[in-house]
Amino acid sequence: MFSRILTKSCSQHSATLVRTFCASAKRDSMKVAVLGASGGIGQPLALLLKNNPLISHLSLFDIVHTPGVAADLSHICTPAQVSGHMGTDELEACLTGSHVVVIPAGVPRKPGMTRDDLFNTNASIVRDLVDACAKYCPQSMICIISNPVNSTVPIAAEVLKQRGVYDQKRVFGVTTLDVVRANTFIAQAKDLDVAHVNVPVIGGHSGETIVPLISQASPQVSFPRDERAKMTERIQNAGTEVVEAKAGAGSATLSMAYAGAKFTGSLLDALNGREDVVECTFVRSDETECKYFATPIRLGKNGVNQNLGMGHMTDFEVSLLEKAIPELNKNIAKGEEWIKANPAQ
């Protein structure tokens, strides 16, 4: 009896998910690869992606434990088939045919560390994984989560250029977590339904390069000057808030997994023809003097469809931007200089 009830429950749950995510039977299912799938971000990210019926094949890669993670996820009663690939010899099998590649691989922050402290380790990881993407799925959308995003996205772009397959519309730095945090903190402060709050966050993905545009929040909100400054600072330093709260046990993994799944889901919707999909993301940009810059982006079948720019900003937000640009330029240059000295082999 319990088995029949459970089977029925799983079937109903899967059907609900299909109705939720698949508005049309004409939508294409896709292969999504997660590189770093056994880690603190990778496992919950893969779990969330397993719930998206637009994904027909969830392909997981890491250097340890991936077959076990894949076996575990494969028991979940949702449509995506799961495969696990362990070790660099299996990157080809993992990546071939992938439409979207999400890269959370790398080491986490610990107390006292900045995202920049992660640079040397994560730079080489991103270089090698993106190089594999260039070889085995050169037309895929590549979503970089590995920190420091301000530097790893330029590294990814330069690797793709070296291999002759770079398309700036297809490379994204996932800064969605900054938006998720801004939405959450402002909804809490104003007692709003967070499901209906949206705060654009532009710039980069660390410290003062994060520029929340509270004046453009929907619905509109306002704060006294000192509260606005405190709210902005909290959004900018929210990652450190988690690192310190975990007291050496890691950095933001669950919230980052949620944000990564949210961005990936939006990208899949756009690839399947939905025309109203907008996410803030760190991309090649001409909006400022920075080569790469996060702004609201309309996504489409080819990736970046339209850069919606920064909109009207208050004097306070302009001052934040003025502080952000020099630091962001420095982060970008660091990534570009590193990859020139350490090219893909």
Q: Which positions are catalytic?
A: 205
HEC string of the chain equals CHHHHHHHHHHHHHHHHHHHHCCCCCCCCEEEEEECCCCCCHHHHHHHHHCCCCEEEEEEEECCCHHHHHHHHHCCCCCCEEEEEECHHHHHHHHCCCCEEEECCCCCCCCCCCHHHHHHHHHHHHHHHHHHHHHHCCCCEEEECCCCHHHHHHHHHHHHHHCCCCCHHHEEECCHHHHHHHHHHHHHHHCCCHHHCECCEEECCCHHHEEECHHHCECCCCCCHHHHHHHHHHHHCHHHHHHHHHCCCCCCCHHHHHHHHHHHHHHHHHHCCCCCCEEEEEEECCCCCCCEEEEEEEEECCEEEEECCCCCCCHHHHHHHHHHHHHHHHHHHHHHHHHHHCCCC
